Structure 1
Amino acid sequence: MATMNISLPDQMKAWVEAQTEDGKYANSSDLIRDLIRREQIKQEKIAALNEKLEEGFASGISDKSLDQIMSEILGKTQG
C-alpha cells in the first residue's frame, strides 16, 4: 500500500481525530479511505445519472400530453 502525507487545517485534523476516537475507525487512514470510497461511489452515481439525462435529452421532445404518457405507464403496470 502506498503512503501519502496530507496537510489539514487544525479544525479538520481535530475532526478526523474525533471520528477515530469513537472506535468506528481504527485510525485516520481508515477514515480517509472510507471517505474516498464514498466519494468514488457518489461520482459513479452522478456519472450514471448524467448519462441517463443525456439519453433523455437526445431522445427529443414528445408530442404526447402528460395524461397520455401517464395512461401508457399505468396501462403497462396494470397490464
Structure 2
Amino acid sequence: MASRAEKPVTVTLGPLTAAAQDRVKSGRYASVSEVVRAGLRALDREEALLDELLKARVAEALADPRPVQPAEEVRSGLAARHAKRTGKGA
C-alpha cells in the first residue's frame, strides 16, 4: 500500500458532492479524493493556459508599434462612445 505524502485534508464539496460521487459510482474514479485530485490537475492546466494567453497578449501589446495614447484620452473617448450608445450625456 502506498503511503500518503501529506496529511489528509477535509473538504466540503457542498452541491458538488453528488457529481463527485457519480464519477466514483461510474467507475471512472476509485474515490472522491481521486476526483478532487483530477479536478485540481484540470484547474492547474486551465490556469497555465490562461497564463500563456495573458503573456501572449501582453507581449503583443508591448510589441505594438502604434504610439501610446494618454489614459485621459482613452477615458474621454470611452465616455463619449458610451454616451452615444446609451443616449446619455457624458
Q: Give the number of equivalent residue pairs.
A: 61
> RCO greater where, 1 or 2, for CA within 8 Å and sep 6 or more?
1
Mapped pair 1:8 → 2:13: yes
Find the structure with the greater CA-based Rg.
2
Post-superposition CA distance 1:44-71 (Å, at most 9, x none): 1110111010010001146xxxxxxxxx
Q: Given the alignment, which residue of 36, 40, 49 partners 1:36?
A: 40
Structure 2 residue aligned with 1:54, among 58, 65, 76? Answer: 58
Query: What amino acid is aligned across from residue 4 of structure 1 in structure 2?
Result: V
Q: Gapped runs of 5+ residues in structure 1?
A: 63-79
The residue number in structure 1 matching 2:74 is none
Higher helix share: 1
**Structure 1 vs Structure 2: percent identity of aligned residues?**
15
Which structure 2 residue ranges, 5 or more long, are not aligned? 67-90
Deviation at 1:12, TM superposition (A): 1.8
Q: Which residue of 1 aligns with 2:25?
A: 21
**Given the two structures, how large is their TM-score scaled by the length of structure 2?**
0.62
The amino acid that maps onto 1:54 is: V
| Alignment RMSD (CA, Å) | 1.3
Runs of 4+ in 1 over 4 A off after TM superposition: none
> Which amino acid counterpart does residue 20 of structure 1 have in structure 2?
V
* Length-normalised TM-score, structure 1: 0.70
